Every structure is written in structure tokens, then in C-alpha cells.
Amino acid sequence: MTAFNAAPTINSAVNSVLSQSFDDLQLIVLDDGSTDATANSLQGITDTRLTVIPAAHRGRSAALNAAIAASTGTFIALNDADDESLPDRIALQVALLSDHPDVDVVSGAMSATEGNRHWILTYPTENHMIHDELDRGRMPIANACVMFRRQWFDSTGGFSTELKRLEDFDLYYRERSRTTFGAVPEPILRYRFRTFSRKQWVAEENQRLTIVGTSAKAPILGYLRYRLAVFSQKRGLGLTKR
């Protein structure tokens, strides 16, 4: 878990991991140069499975790489500092990876919330479906609740520190030809959804297009399609997140 100015949510995120039904775990929280009360918020947690690492602010990719390097587990689970893992999340993902030794990366569905709205975000669960989406330059993996094998991650070179956004998509896209994916079908994370502004969406979309190797720019009507998809998700109409 990485944290940057996450004082309002960090305790609930940390406690959601430490309260897992699968309790043979360690939790590394890398404080990426927070200037708020993030560090103070964590001082009251005495669970010995928690390690807090203070660091200078270097950005999400560098923080993720450093947190993973500090861990010792065979399986690595990511959890953002503003999201909450549901109680059986780790158990379900460990079981999937243990039962399927060919699978490298596993995510799952998420229970999303924004304001007073709640809905379920679902993603493809079969390897061939995930590969089809990645080959089309789309993100079919819920990185907010991803778990992967340490051996696989160490062989990738980690998250790109040259990117300010979509470091997750970049990793799975560039490693897709040698990676087997899977997903837990039920929700395993409570996800704080944030609808992008047009400026944010254009920045993300242009970064995605750069990663997939095209010189195209974000389409004019793309943001309207994105907002329609978000509207549909919140009302349970079954459209995907991206």
C-alpha cells in the first residue's frame, strides 16, 4: 500500500487488510512524502504485521516498486490507501493462485461507491477474454485489487517510473504476451470511484494511446462516451468501467 496525503482514509484501508480472514500476511505501507496527518494516523495501529516506511515523495510508480521490494511474500496484493478490501479478498485470491499455478495475475470485481450511489464493477475472469481486451488496448483488470506472484513481478522490471498515470495498464499491456491472467468473479474490494473531469479523461486517454503505440489523440466524443458508461454503471446497466 502506498499513501500520499491519505489521512482521512488510511486507517480504514489498513484495518481492512489487517482484518482479513486470511491472516498470514504482512502489510507494507510506504508513506510517499505525505504532508498531512497520514503518519500520525498510523501510529495508533499496533499490529506487528504492519510496517510503515516513510519516504521522500517520488510518485506512485516508485512508491509501489519500493513497497513491493520491502515485502517478503510469495504473493503480492495491492490496496490503495482510500479503498477497503472485503474480508475474504486475500483468501479468495490466494486460493485461485494456489489452485492454478499457471496464473500470474489475478484481480476481481469491486463494490464501487461515489457519493450516495453504490454499484458493482465487473471485469473479465478468463485469461483469453483479458488478453483480447489488452490486445485492443483496453484495461480489463481491476488494479485496485490485483494480486500477482512475486516471481512474475520481479521478472517485469516493475512499474514504469517514467509514467505519471496508467502505470498499471502499461505493466500488464507490455507483459501480456508472457502473462496468464485470472479474476475472482465476486466483489473483493470496496472502491472509492471518482468520475474524471474532461481534462483528466483526456490526459488518461492520451497516455493510454501512447502506451499502445499510436499517435492518435483522445477522440472528441470519447469523454461523452465515458460519462455515458459511468452513468450506466451507476444504474446497473452492465457497461464496463473503461
Mean per-residue pLDDT pooled into runs of 10, the chain (242 residues): 96 97 97 96 94 96 97 96 97 98 97 88 95 93 96 97 93 97 97 77 81 73 66 56 41
Burial label for 162, CB within 10 Å (0-12, 13-18, 19+), is exposed
Distance CA 173, CA 160 (A): 12
Distance CA 167, CA 163 (A): 6
Give the pTM. 0.88
Pick from 72, 84, 74: nearest CA to 28: 72
Residue 225: predicted pLDDT: 67
Place of cell 493510454: 208
Distance CA 218, CA 80 (A): 27
Residue 205: predicted pLDDT: 81
Say whether 146 sits in a helix, a strand or coil.
coil
Distance CA 223, CA 213 (A): 21
Report in angstroms the alpha-carbon separations of 128 from 150, 153, 180. Answer: 22, 20, 9
Q: Where are the alpha helices (DSSP H) in the chain?
A: 10-18, 38-42, 60-70, 89-99, 127-135, 150-156, 167-174, 198-211, 222-234
Residue 241: predicted pLDDT: 41
Residue 155: predicted pLDDT: 97
- CA dihedral 6→7→11→12, nearest 10 degrees, is -60
Q: Name the residue ranges covered by the structural domains of the chain.
A: 2-194, 195-242
The set of residues, in sequence order, having a beta carbon less than 8 Å from that of 218 and lying 6+ positions away, is 201, 202, 205, 206, 209
Residue 106: predicted pLDDT: 98
**Contact, 61 vs 143, CB < 8 A?**
no
Pick from 186, 55, 35, 33: nearest CA to 122: 186
CATH fold group of domain 2-194: Spore Coat Polysaccharide Biosynthesis Protein SpsA; Chain A (3.90.550)
Residue 242: predicted pLDDT: 41
Which phi-psi region, left, alpha or beta, contains residue 190 (left: φ > 0; alpha: ψ -120 to 50)? beta
